[in-house]
Amino acid sequence: MAVDRARADVNPVFNDNKIKLGVFHINGEGAAKTRVPERFHLTWDNSLDAAIAADAAGFEAIVPFSRWTTEVDPGHLSGTSYESLTWAAGIGAQTRHSGVMSTCHVMHMHPVFAAKAIATIDHICNGRFALNVVCGWVPGDMEMFGHTDLGVAGRYAYADEWITILKRLWSEDDEFDFDGRYLNISRGYSMPHPIQRPYPALMNAGGSDEGQNFVGRHCDIAFIRTETREWMRNRAASYRKFVADTFGRQIQIWIQAYVVQRDSYAEAVKYVDRYAVDEADRAHVDAIMRRRNRPLSAEENIIYRRNLGAGPGGLPLLGSAEDIAREMIELSGLGIDGFLMSWVDYRDGVRRFGREVIPLLEQAGYRKPFRPQAAGAVAVGSR
């Protein structure tokens, strides 16, 4: 049996790079809602190729999304994705360095099953697994599973019981009972435990008060919205202070971004106009816009639709390698630790980013030079 390891020694999301990198959404038909022919097409070979490119470049994280039904109509590309636990097991077996995540909605999976599945993946990838815990509400998925909306407070109360059970299954050697408001476990037991001790890394996009409490109590990474620079600076600082003051813990702050790397900023903007506006998958963008819970001004509507066409929302990183590196360094100065990134064409985009942007981040002192592990070695973060 594999030897237990402190997770800071085996999972690269805990390394000391000032700017951490992740690739996002490569288990589906691409994050960009576009019809351009060069967009990412989901096959196992394409998904694995993008993951291997990120791994070879020294990315800290490879992160899937989780979606079960279509966002438009049956047959639409939004309904095509790989289940994220099975996918992570396959990716973990074929990579050597990057942390491999699954994205799991707590109401879709029983915690006893989740604990065993996650421990299995952690053994497959030698302690590099991390879990993106989701507590939100996507109506189509929830209706298909037959769930009733518990409201924000109820969802996080459910998640608190769910993750508490997982942690006990991952760490306790004896059977235990759990009597909760939402979940009940009789003679809970799961072996083997994960390789990472005390348990795998956890991430959550908790934005509400309940979400912040959940992150503070349980998680290592807070995934925050991208707004103005001032908003992100204040949000990162206040989130860290709240978690430190309330729970005596430190957390990382990550955001998502879509990358268009070209020879110039003007060329990158022109390409965004083409793929995210002129060639946007309007039916997909319209479907997401209908879920908006607040009205938008005419100007906000244009910006929001453009960002949805360009990627899964998030911040644009546009221009030359120098432009993108400069922007990331400035965002690091606002308190951002990590970036989950998407591209129209992941296979080319990740490789170009690795060749041209990462060396600039290393030269600026925001990342240490990456030295890949030998095949078969226990993967660790660049420290």
Greatest Cα pair distance in the chain: 61
Beta-strand relationship, 20-24 and 5-6: unpaired
Write the DSSP assignment of 265-315 as a string of letters.
HHHHHHHHIIIIIITB-HHHHHHHHTT-SS---HHHHHHHHHHHHHSSSSE
pLDDT at 378: 40
Nearest alpha carbon to residue 170 among 192, 149, 153, 187 = 192
Nearest alpha carbon to residue 128 among 103, 100, 104, 102 = 100
User: Are the CB atoms for 346 and 23 separated by under 8 Å?
Assistant: yes
Nearest alpha carbon to residue 105 among 131, 127, 140, 70 = 131
Which amino acid type is present at position 139? P
Taken in order 74, 77, 80, 81, the sign of the CA dihedral is: negative
Which amino acid type is present at position 242? F
Which tokens go with 59? 């990315």
Name the stretches of the chain with pLDDT < 50. 374-383
Nearest alpha carbon to residue 296 among 304, 285, 284 = 304
For 10, 78, 138, the CA distances from 201, given in Å and listed in that order, are 11, 28, 24
Average pLDDT taken over every residue of the chain:
93
For 63, 245, 251, 358, the CA distances from 166, given in Å and listed in that order, are 20, 25, 20, 36
Q: Which residue has the tokens 């309330």?
A: 246
**Nearest-angstrom CA–CA distance, 14 and 3:** 19
- Cα dihedral 210, 139, 203, 214 in deg (nearest 10): 20
Return the CATH class of domain 5-363.
Answer: alpha beta
Q: Which pTM does this prediction carry? A: 0.93
- Give the domain ranges of the chain: 5-363
Long-range contacts of 237-243 (CB under 8 A, 24+ apart): 237/335, 239/212, 239/215, 240/335, 242/212, 242/216, 243/212, 243/215, 243/216
**Nearest-angstrom CA–CA distance, 233 and 217:** 22
For 15, 53, 56, 202, the CA distances from 374, given in Å and listed in that order, are 19, 16, 12, 27
**Nearest-angstrom CA–CA distance, 215 and 131:** 13
- Interval 122-132: pLDDT, tens: 999 999 999 99
The total of other beta-carbon atoms located within 10 Å of residue 142's CB is 18
Nearest alpha carbon to residue 91 among 31, 41, 51, 50 = 51
